[in-house]
Structure 1
């Protein structure tokens, strides 16, 4: 279990970093959007490339931020029933939901999006609009985003199982630093055993 917790911790850190990058993309997207509006109104100049960059960035924010959002338990839920259950029952539902619904959907999306990205890369497909951009970079965000989401689903399942075994605090609560500390504590015996001859 320690090895799995170490993997979950690595995935958490990866999605945390990418999530922070996605936050900066929001600012960049807003600046490009404002600049484009000012240039269009003040100088009567417009570029399809600037418009497409905006939706490329929006796609990056949404897709690259999915794993980060799941890590922080900030995705949309309907808690009419779940909120009334115990933490253990909630963890069991999260495990079942992650493995039976979210993981298969993410895997299927990744599987079917990859050939499209490959074909667009080989063909060098551009936007049909004048001054439009290459299409494969924005399409490549789909397998990247869903790949990160798959990793985070697995990390969340590992953390819920560790919680049910009493190894870490409830990962559904906002205790990231405590959970990371508990994971590190559980890894210490494993590391010490590995140092012995």
Structure 2
């Protein structure tokens, strides 16, 4: 494989790892928000109206940001009925077939999320609640993370093609 392709794979893998590590720490933020909400509501008797929505946004950020790292580390859900019995090259072929489906899915998801972000920006979309937060930040994050998942999918395709050619890309 040409060096530029190897550099692309290393770069995307590294960015996916960094974003995934930040996502892992979001769980602690969400726990802190929910703990604060429980204490202020039940002990101090002063409900914090924004806490549940902030926890929901944090959870959404968590699963969007963790997507690319999950793909990279092959930690996603898969039906291993036949897959485990395949050779390394057979697994690469099967993964390439599923990557085409994943590319289609992520492309449709990206199209919808860009449309949703565009609508949020044009209308100044806000969530209908007492806190009334803007939807632009979470939708922007969603678009960025879907783009990163697409980049990671292309990285995986390159790795699987390299496997079929008998090469190794770290």
- The bucket for the TM-score relative to the shorter chain is over 0.9
Q: Which of the pair has more CA radius of gyration?
A: 1
Counterpart-to-counterpart distance in 2, 1:128 and 1:105: 29
Match in the other structure for 1:191 = none
TM normalised by structure 2 equals 0.94
Counterpart-to-counterpart distance in 2, 1:124 and 1:108: 24
Counterpart-to-counterpart distance in 2, 1:134 and 1:165: 49
Show structure 1 runs of 4+ deviating over 4 A.
none
Counterpart-to-counterpart distance in 2, 1:45 and 1:135: 26
Task: Confirm or deny: 8 A CA contact 2:126 2:133 kept in the other structure.
Answer: yes
Residue 117 of structure 1 pairs with residue 81 of structure 2 = no
Residue 126 of structure 1 pairs with residue 153 of structure 2 = no
Deviation at 1:122, TM superposition (A): 2.6
Match in the other structure for 1:66 = 67
Deviation at 1:7, TM superposition (A): 0.7
Match in the other structure for 1:10 = 11
Deviation at 1:84, TM superposition (A): 1.0
Partner-residue secondary structure (3-state), 1:48: coil
Unaligned runs of 5+ in 2: none
Partner-residue secondary structure (3-state), 2:50: helix
Q: How many residues align?
A: 169
Computed over aligned residues only, the root mean square deviation of the Cα atoms, in angstroms, reads: 1.3
Match in the other structure for 1:106 = 106
> How does 1:1-197 map onto structure 2 within 5 Å?
1-2=1-2, 3-99=4-100, 101-168=101-168, 180=170
Counterpart-to-counterpart distance in 2, 1:115 and 1:97: 26
